[in-house]
Chains A and B, each alone.
Chain A
Amino acid sequence: MAFVAPKETYAGKVFEVAIGTDKPVVFGGENVLPFHSFEGNVPSRPVIAFEIQDTAPDDWPETVKKAHAGVSGDPVTWAKHCQDALGAKAIALRLVGTHPDRENRSPEEAAKTVRDVLAAVTVPLIILGSNNVEKDSAVLVAVAEAAKDRNCIIGKAQEANYKTIAAAAMANSHKLIAMSELDINLSKQLNILITQMGFDKEKLITDPMCSALGYGLEYTYSVMERIRLAALTQNDATMQQPMLGDVGMYVWKVKETQAPEADLPQWGSLAERGIAWETATAGSLILAGAELLIMRHPEAVKAVEKFIDELL
């Protein structure tokens, strides 16, 4: 029996999203499963954004804190370092300092930080709240205005606060991350709610919620695969948004990235183990369909970029 390559063509495609103004980057746009360039178009590669925050990363584990030592005390210096020294293609600024349990910074302070960072870098910016549902509504509205017309990504809008955040993103011409908790139906429903407000479906990015390797990665992996299949096979426009893997935040809190080798010799070197954890989590999520990743360790980013080079 002769072999005939069982190629598949799909009815739908993922929306292509461009962010930034000076040095825009583009992701999404493929009409096939991840890296299936043998049966369709894969016009862009996944984009990796370096994560920085508005407060010094004192709560990050040693391995990744060390990688940003000397620059991470101030978001502007940190952002420039990522862009100029690390070659970041995008930067994700997380405003953790606005959380009521942290420094409880005001929306105005957050807006100033955003303005300063935007003035210092030319690569696109992703602006994230502190994941406090109420506070994010106020903070993200202020920063969306501060970043007006810079074509940023604002996030994250969740079921409980999407209205104000989506309205602010729309009024100031930004893209928007819609996050739900590991459930394809909830994810679809949130995209519908946001687009029903008049928000352009092609300016949304879906965050189905990340999990770290060994801590529920299989849920994120499968939800992403299912979302991508729905986008392609059913041509479902509420599932065709590019997907985000917010990797660093989940990875750098699990035990494998922190436990010293002296306590767990069978786990091997701590520094490599931490980097490997972020690398492997990110690597599997791009295979499941993530087009945008937020990561922390420069070595992990480098490894994933090499992997993408090999996949394309």
Chain B
Amino acid sequence: MALTGVEIFKLLPKTNCKKCGHPTCLAFAMKLAQRQASLDSCPDVSEEAKRVLGEASAPPVRPITLGAGDKAVKMGEETVLFRHEKKFVNPCVLAVEVKDTLSDDEIGRIVEGVLSSEIDRVGQKLRVDALFLSNASGDAGKFESAVKAVAAKAPAVPLILSTSNAAAAEAALKAVADRKPLLYGADESNADAMAALAKNYKVSLGVVGKGLDALSSLTEKIKGLGVEDMVIDSGARTAKEIIENNTFIRRAAIKKNFKALGYPVITLAQRDDAMLEMLVASLGVAKYSSLIVMSSVEKWKDLALFTLRQNIYTDPQVPMQVEQKIYTIGETSAESPLMITSNFSLTYFILSGEVENSKVPTRLAVLDCEGLSVLTAWAAGKFTASKIAAFIQESGIGDELKNKELIIPGYVAILSGSIEEKLPGWKITVGPREANGVPAFLKSR
């Protein structure tokens, strides 16, 4: 559990020498407790204090990186149970299973689906992050060749090697260890051998225990064998088991600082029914899975899951926003219209989509409103005539236009008079209220 300011203070030199930039050791301790300062700032702190504080400040859910290079993904480091308390940290990794019993063609199709899964949404690039290679055949040779085939076809995608057979695991690791795969396969029967492999090949280890009690003992044993980077599986497969075990794991890690379960959770969500699979994966997204394995790639399913993951993992305090500037959509000329809106990503995303639909080249002035929607920003005094006028004037956009005309959102029609006053020489036009009215509006001008 995190230490309080007073507990931290007891470990400091108590000389109030100010070298840390704080007036007293107590003040510094308070900042440390709020995680707003780093212990390194105090040059005189004892080794003992470093050890105690280091342990206490380790994140309750261990950070684990899957893969290497550009497409590597981080898991873990979560600090809360509910997203309104604080931002969920590392968006869960979505993976698709490839069985080594599949034909080359089938394997090729899944890998192709994963490679082409990337889409852009509200300015973020989203994709199926990883491939889960399973040793369904039970045969070490088959596994090795499937792993090699997939690795060649998808040179950058992070891999999860799923086998409980140490010989199969070693053969696969020899081929792809430098890609930092997750070796998923330590259980009660093979823990020693798997831990030795994870250690030798410097990869993280997936640990499967039947139930949370067995799982805790197993992670402790494996830690004792010198492997620290683990991803855990409690054996939960049904939605009921997943919500129960994931809740207990997250609570134990965060509220009790229970180290034996302080690791990212892997959830196997595969179902024959793709819609149900999407729902079970959604449960993982909302309720604490860090790595979710699915059986297939369908673009519609991916889009829904990417979007849900984005919704759940946005910062509840800071809405997603786009940069303040004047965007151009299409090949604009001096005659093209100029519209103004707020910098809430959702607003920008919906509006720019509709402008694109209209096929009318348009300039879109996006005003920094701290990520609030048009109406919310207006109500909060952040989408005001003065701010709009200042932005338009400072941008110098007027010089590029034949007619100085600014189109404002229909919901803030009330602003038109005061903007006209503050922007002499400009004509203010009130556009439609809803973005879906924008194509007709632009085309009819």
Contact = CB atoms under 8 A, between A and B. Distances in A.
A31 B56 CA distance: 34
Contact of B308 (A3, A213, A306): A213
Interface residues of A, number: 47
Interface string B10-33: 000000000000000000000000
Interface in B251-304: 251-252, 255-256, 258-261, 273-276, 278-280, 282-283, 286-287, 298-304
Contacts of A6: 248, 251-252, 255-256, 258
B248, B252, B304, B312, most chain A CB atoms within 10 A: B304
Nearest to A309: B239
B275 A217 contact: no
Given A6-B248, A268-B299, A37 B240 contact: yes
B433 interface: no
Contacts of B247: 36, 38
B240 A35 contact: yes
A10 B83 CA distance: 20
Interface string A293-312: 00000010001101100111
Given A6-B255, A218-B83, A287-B283, A213 B307 contact: yes
A276 B251 contact: no
A277 interface: yes
A160 interface: no
Given A1-B220, A266-B299, A215 B248 contact: no
Nearest to A3: B216
Interface residues of B, number: 54
Contact of A277 (B240, B304, B310): B304
A273 B258 contact: no
Interface string A278-296: 0110011001100000000
A221 B312 contact: yes
B380 to A, nearest CB: 13
A3 to B, nearest CB: 4
Given A6-B251, A6-B255, A38 B244 contact: yes
A178 B100 CA distance: 54
A44 interface: no
A276 B240 contact: no
A312 B304 CA distance: 24
B213 A279 contact: no
Contacts of A217: 308, 311
Interface stretch (A73-81, A109-117, A222-230): A222-230
Nearest to A256: B303
A279 B275 contact: yes
A3 B258 contact: yes
B283 A3 contact: no
Interface of B is mostly: helix
Contact of B119 (A225, A266, A312): A266
A192 B252 CA distance: 37
A5 B302 contact: no
Interface string B333-349: 00000000000001000
A268 B300 contact: yes
A268 B258 contact: no
B424 to A, nearest CB: 37
B330 interface: no
A267 B244 CA distance: 33
A216 B244 CA distance: 27
B353 interface: yes
Contacts of A277: 304
A1 B219 CA distance: 11
B240 to A, nearest CB: 6
Given A6-B248, A221-B83, A276-B275, A283 B282 contact: yes
Given A1-B220, A273-B303, A225 B82 contact: yes
A192 B311 CA distance: 31
> Which 5 A-B pairs rank lowest in CB-CB distance, beginning with the nearest?
A268-B299, A268-B300, A273-B300, A310-B239, A222-B84
15 contacts: A3-B213, A5-B248, A6-B256, A36-B247, A213-B308, A216-B346, A218-B314, A269-B298, A276-B301, A280-B305, A288-B286, A304-B279, A307-B276, A310-B239, A310-B276
Given A6-B251, A284-B282, A287-B282, 10 more contacts: A5-B212, A6-B256, A214-B311, A216-B346, A217-B308, A221-B83, A256-B307, A303-B276, A306-B273, A311-B240
